[in-house]
Amino acid sequence: MNIVVLIKQVPDTWSERTLSDADKTLDRASSDAVLDEINERAVEEALKIKESGDAEVTVLTVGPDRATDAIRKALSMGADKAVHVNDEALHGSDAVTTAKVLAKAIGTVGDVDLVLAGNEATDGRSGAMAAMLGEVLGWPSLTHANALTVENGTASVKRETDEGTCDVTSALPAVVSVGEKINEPRYPSFKGIMAAKKKPVSAIGIADLGLDASEVGLAGSLSQVDSFAPRPPKSGGQKVEDEGDGGAKIAEFLVGQKLI
């Protein structure tokens, strides 16, 4: 079984996140970067499949030099090797373009049976990359999985979203996105951290994927950001101590605001 796990380095949600004035893209330099938590669950799920049978796990990321840290984390958890698509030209790619780049990069890994990803990154929050990638590849996408079974060439998931639950099944190859409840990711062991340093990381550019700079990045994207502005910070209003009339005071405030 040949498994690819998509990982993404994102700004830590505890740090200040902002956009870059120059080209209106996410300012990745100004915030702490971490492996997105949901990706660790995708890696964990791949490792569980590997441990219960025979699988090779490749982690794939598209990102700048510093995304190496996210790759090392995934490798130290136990993934076998990595593909790092790193090219200046990719900067500013929109979701559709990114899906096309990921599909091409998956093509470099050989005959892939299963692609695993997180269901939603904490930065872009498009929440649809697995489905979009499936669309590009012509593969089914089984999304928001809180349980996954892979056997006899079939993938089955328990899907859970805010809108409800269902079971989804398809033949392999398929793209599966995992939700928060699917597992608890392991911590890398010291041995794993040491071993990760020797694992192969293949760094490739868009030329290796048969793509031209005009097809990706800000130039190749089908949508563009025209402007952005920080929302004026909301300042606190009135704060009172409860003296037995706190509920009544809120009611008065709401009446004043014509909310009740």
Closest separation in Å from C-beta 198 to another protein: 35
- Using the minimum distance from each CB to another protein, give the nearer residue, 59 or 132: 132
Question: CA 10, 85, 81, 35: dihedral to nearest 10 degrees?
Answer: 0
Closest separation in Å from C-beta 218 to another protein: 11
- Using the minimum distance from each CB to another protein, give the nearer residue, 32 or 51: 32
Determine which residue in the list 110, 161, 189, 212 makes contact with another protein, applying CB under 8 A: 161
Closest separation in Å from C-beta 109 to another protein: 20
- Using the minimum distance from each CB to another protein, give the nearer residue, 62 or 75: 62
Determine which residue in the list 144, 148, 178, 183 makes contact with another protein, applying CB under 8 A: 144
**Considering the rule CB under 8 A, would residue 257 count as an interface residue with another protein?**
yes
List, in sequence order, every beta strand (DSSP E) within 133-204: 141-151, 154-161, 164-171, 174-178, 201-204
Give the CA distances from residue 169 to residues 43, 120, 128, in Å, rounded to whole numbers and listed in that order.
21, 21, 18
Residue of 136, 77, 67 whose CA lies nearest to 103? 136
Mark the segment that binds another protein (CB under 8 A) among 104-112, 191-199, 201-209, 250-258. Answer: 250-258
Pairing, β 81-85 against β 114-118: unpaired
Which two structure tokens, joined as six digits, stand for 120? 């939603």
Determine which residue in the list 17, 48, 91, 199 makes contact with another protein, applying CB under 8 A: 17
Site for another protein in 95-134 (CB under 8 A): 95-96, 99-100, 122, 125-129, 131-132, 134
Judged by DSSP in three states, 22 sits in coil
- Using the minimum distance from each CB to another protein, give the nearer residue, 171 or 207: 171
**Considering the rule CB under 8 A, would residue 27 count as an interface residue with another protein?**
no
Element (H, E) at 40: helix 37-52
- Using the minimum distance from each CB to another protein, give the nearer residue, 207 or 250: 250
Closest separation in Å from C-beta 129 to another protein: 7
Site for another protein in 172-231 (CB under 8 A): 174, 180-181, 221-231
Site for another protein in 56-95 (CB under 8 A): 94-95
Determine which residue in the list 30, 52, 165, 189 makes contact with another protein, applying CB under 8 A: 165
Whole-angstrom Cα distance, residue 90 to residue 205?
9
Whole-angstrom Cα distance, residue 24 to residue 27?
8
- Using the minimum distance from each CB to another protein, give the nearer residue, 13 or 52: 13
In 122-176, alpha helices (H): 129-137
Provide the b/e sequence for 55-70 (b: ≥16 CB within 10 Å): bbbbbbbbbbeebbeb
